[in-house]
Structure 1
Amino acid sequence: MRLTIKTPPAAMPLDLQEAKRHCLVEDGDTEDDTLIEGFIAAAVDYLDGPTGILGRAIITQSWLLELETWPARLGLPLEPVRSVSISYLDRDGVEQVLPSDDWILDQYPSRRTVLNMQPGSRPTLQAVRYPVRITIEAGFGSPDDVPKSLIVAMQMLVADWYERRGEMMPSGSRAQLPAAVSMLISRWRVIL
C-alpha cells in the first residue's frame, strides 16, 4: 500500500492574524510573524491528514491510495471522506475506472469510513506493484467550514508554543499537550 497527496489543502485553517490575536501580539507588530507562521504550520501538521493525531483532513485535500490487489473491505486512511473514485490498470496497462456500483462506502461519524467491494469478480489487473488506485477527497471544506473547537485548539497550541519557545524540556521528560487542547480535539479523533 502506498499513500501520497495529490492535491494539498488550498489554505491553512488558521490565519496569521487570528493566531497573533490569540498570542496577544498586536497587528502592527510583525517581528515574530515568521515564527508564528511556523507554529501554525506545526499545529496543522500535528493534527491534520493521515499521519496527524486526529486521523482527519482539516481543509479539503486529495490523496491517492495505491494497492497491490483488489481489497474486499478497506478502512480509508482519513476522514471526513467527501468523495472516492477507483481506477485500475487492466491487464494491458490501460487505466480504467471501476464503476461506483461495484463498491459501497460505509461512513460513521467517529470511525473510519470503510470501502466494501460488492460481491463478484473483479477485472484482471496488470502485473505491476500498485495497479489499484483509490483517489480520496477528504476534509471539512474551506477554513470557514472547520469546526470552531479545532480552530481554538490550534490557537491554543500556537499560543502555548509561542509563550514557551525559549524553554527547554528536562532530559527524559515528555512534552504534553495542554489539557484544554486535549479536551477540544478528543471528540474529533477518529477511532480505528
Structure 2
Amino acid sequence: MLRPVLVTAPSALPVSLAEVKSALRVDGGDSDTDLERLIRSAVDHYEGWSGILGIALVAQTWRQDFNSFDRKMMLGLRPVQSISSVKWRNEAGQISTVAAEDYALKTDAGGRSYVRFVNNFSTPSGLYEDAAVSIEFVVGWPLSAEETPTTPEDIKTAIILHVQKHYDEAAKTNSDILERVERDLISRYRAPLF
C-alpha cells in the first residue's frame, strides 16, 4: 500500500467561521483572516493521511495505490462512504476498470475499511511495475441536504478548542486544560492499534 493521494478536496470546512466566532464571542470582521487560518490549521492537525486521527472530516475523494492485487485491500483513511472505482494498469500502461460486482466495500470492527474481491474474481496478470492498482473512494462525513457538514459535534468542538487555545490570550494560560478536553473529545476517533 502506498501513501493515499487527495483527488477532490472537501467543498466545506467542518466548522464555519461563524460557528467559531460565536463560540469565542468574537464580533466584527477584524480577526476573520486569522480565525480562518487557525480553523484550517486545526483541520489539518486532525485530518488526512498525516493528521493525528487519520480520518476525513468532510466528504472528499482520495486515491489509494497498490503495487499488486490482494483479496482484501485496506484503505488508509476513515470513514469510507463509497468506492468510486478500482482500476489497474498492465505492463503496456493500458488502464482497465474492475467491474463493481467483482468487489465490495467492507468495514471491520475497528472502523477500518477495505475492498474485498469476490471469491471468483480472477486477478489480472502482467501488471505495471509500480502502483498498478488504484482505488478511488469517497471518505468523510457527507454534507446535509442544506449543504452543511455532518461532522460529529465532538470533533467540531475539539476544532473550536484548538482554535481558541491559539487565538485567545486567556485560553493560552489554561491550554493544558483545553488540550486535555480536546484529547477527550477526539479519543474515540483515533485509529485502532490492532
Aligned partner of 1:90 in structure 2 is 90
Aligned partner of 2:179 in structure 1 is 178
Q: Distance in 2 between matches of 1:188 and 1:109?
A: 13
Q: Distance in 2 between matches of 1:165 and 1:61?
A: 35
Matched, 1:157 2:162: yes
Q: Give unmatched runs, 5+ long, in structure 1.
A: 169-174
Q: Report SS of the residue matched to 2:189.
A: coil
The two structures have a TM-score, normalised by structure 1, of: 0.84
| Cα distance, 1:111 vs structure 2 | 2.5
The two structures have a TM-score, normalised by structure 2, of: 0.83
Map residues 15-94 of structure 1 onto 2, 5 A cutoff. 15-26=16-27, 28=28, 30-84=29-83, 85-94=85-94
- Provide the alpha-carbon RMSD of the alignment: 2.4
Q: Is the 8 A contact 1:88 1:125 kept in 2?
A: no
Instruction: Give me the identity figure in percent.
Output: 28
Which amino acid in the other structure matches residue 128 of structure 2? A
Q: Give unmatched runs, 5+ long, in structure 2.
A: none
Q: Is the 8 A contact 2:161 2:178 kept in 1?
A: no
| Cα distance, 1:125 vs structure 2 | 3.7
Q: Is the 8 A contact 2:165 2:172 kept in 1?
A: no
Q: Distance in 2 between matches of 1:147 and 1:54?
A: 14
Q: Residue 32 and residue 53 in structure 1: after superposition, are their counterparts in 2 closer, same or farther (change >3 A)?
A: same
Q: Distance in 1 between matches of 2:177 and 2:88?
A: 43
Q: Is the 8 A contact 2:3 2:64 kept in 1?
A: yes
| Cα distance, 1:144 vs structure 2 | 3.2
From the two aligned structures, give the one with the greater helix fraction: 2
Q: Distance in 2 between matches of 1:164 and 1:111?
A: 38
Q: Residue 155 and residue 109 in structure 1: after superposition, are their counterparts in 2 closer, same or farther (change >3 A)?
A: farther
Q: Residue 131 and residue 105 in structure 1: after superposition, are their counterparts in 2 closer, same or farther (change >3 A)?
A: same
Q: Is the 8 A contact 1:68 1:130 kept in 2?
A: yes
Q: Deviations over 1:136-170 (max 9, x none)?
A: 110101243111111111111111111259979xx
Q: Distance in 1 between matches of 2:111 and 2:177?
A: 25
